Amino acid sequence: MVMDINVAEIQPYTNDELWSPEKFPMPPRSSLHHLEPIGVGTPMVESLTSYMTRLAHSHGVFVSTLLSRVVNPLLQRTFIKNYTSRGLEPFFNRSHTLNGYGTIATDFIEVLNQLTLSNNLKFLTLSPFSNILVTKGLLRPYKAWCPICYKRWKQNQEVIYEPLLWSLNDVKVCLIHQHPLVQNCPHCHRQLLWLNWKSSLGYCSQCSQWLGGSSNTSIVTQQRWIADTLGELVANADRLSSVLTQERIQQSLTYIVHQVSEDNIAAFAAIHKIPKNTFWGWYSGKNRPPLSALTQICYNLKISLFQFLTQDFNLSAIPDRDQKVEMEYCKNTRSSARTLDFNHIENTLSLILSQAGESLPTIAEIAEQLQINRRLLSRHFPDLCHQIVTKRRNYVRMSHLTAIEHCCQEIKEAIALLHQSGEYPTESRVCELISNPGYFRYQKVRLLYKKEVQSMFSRL
């Protein structure tokens, strides 16, 4: 049965109707899966390289495809030249920097936030700690993992990933199982980059073998403590990111030096076996202490790195008696300076300068002979030292020129001898007949050899 519908009688919807589109605003859509990172706010937070590997697998593509075709076009800087192996290999070789805090980590975080509409990817890196960390020795260039974690996650059908802690060079053991981290594939014995063309979490990117397993290897107590304190640090990245500054470290160092060694910087440096000048740079705020140095100081003082950075600690005494003894040793007054016999030193320098036709000793050798510091000679007798250095250089130069002339004469004689015996004077044969074949590296000697050979043939 056909129904007649009068189009003019159809009324448009109103805002009062439930099915009006205005009642249900459409949320923004992400270009890639809105993949949630694992463990944010916990010591076992996921690393950014792990997140990128999982993101690629969630779309059914290789990591190389995700990077070159999707991520790279959106980057402000060119980190990946092209899709070929030659263009990707340099990036993969430094892929560990994605877990750090530099330009490459910041740019990738921004692009991945844009693609996935996530807002917490910075906590998968060390970006929250960029104001206090030193790049050198901070991150591992190759993967390290806990085989027991891989095994447990696979048995429990949990997501396999790589925690940010595993990328820190100072972390040697697993935070959960207290097992030493493995850094070579047990099957092919190769080291693995954090990202590769076909990276697969829990599997070797070279031989594709499973990396999970078990072991009864024992570990050192200090290694456990470092894993715990650095785990606490990354777990509180959100809380610390707004307060961490270089001034905060300087304030904490000032406080602990006051508490431990009564403001004696040299004593404190000696207690922790740190060069005094190095520690002074940290104490004055001129340089940043590396993470390994901060963890060692905190371990010696029995406080966590989180307590150190938040200044939530109270040190009322030196940790142990041995350190007290060492501090008291550092407080000893210096011995009085030795009186120098300037007349004897000046006479010695004048006598050396008066030598003719001989190779003069260096200033360092003279200082050693006089048993004084070389800088003292240059400071108190600059003219004599300058004359000795100049005369020595002239003697060395003249000796060198004389040796070259002697070598040229030997070459002429060797060429003539070989010619008389009916043998062609090749460079190797001439070198066998002269005393210093190494002089052939000098242009003057080589030119003379070529000139003599050409002259010999022109006379034939």
What pLDDT digit, counting tens, does each position of 312-364 carry?
777 654 444 444 445 444 455 555 556 778 888 888 888 888 876 667 888 88
Backbone torsion region of residue 202, taken as left when φ is above 0, otherwise alpha when ψ lies between -120 and 50, otherwise beta? left
- CB count within 10 Å of CB 61 equals 14
Contact 394, 402 (CB under 8 A): no
Of 240 and 107, more confident: 107
pLDDT score at 229:
92
| Residue 168, helix vs strand vs coil | strand
The pLDDT > 90 percentage for the chain reads: 29
Q: Give the confidence band of 370 by pLDDT, cuts at 50, 70, 90.
A: confident
Average pLDDT over residues 265-289: 89
Q: What's the token pair of residue 444? A: 């003057």
pTM over 0.85: no
The pLDDT > 70 percentage for the chain reads: 85
How many Å separate Cα 80 from the centre of its chain? Answer: 21
Rounded distance between C-alpha atoms, residue 80 and residue 49, angstroms: 15
As to burial, measured by CB atoms within 10 angstroms (0-12 exposed, 13-18 middle, 19+ buried), residue 294 is buried
Q: What's the token pair of residue 434? A: 């002269």
- CB count within 10 Å of CB 255 equals 15
| Residue 20, helix vs strand vs coil | coil
Q: Which domains does the chain have, with CATH numbers?
A: 27-234 (no CATH), 245-329 (1.10.260), 342-458 (no CATH)
Most confident of 8-22, 144-158, 328-342: 144-158
pLDDT score at 241:
73
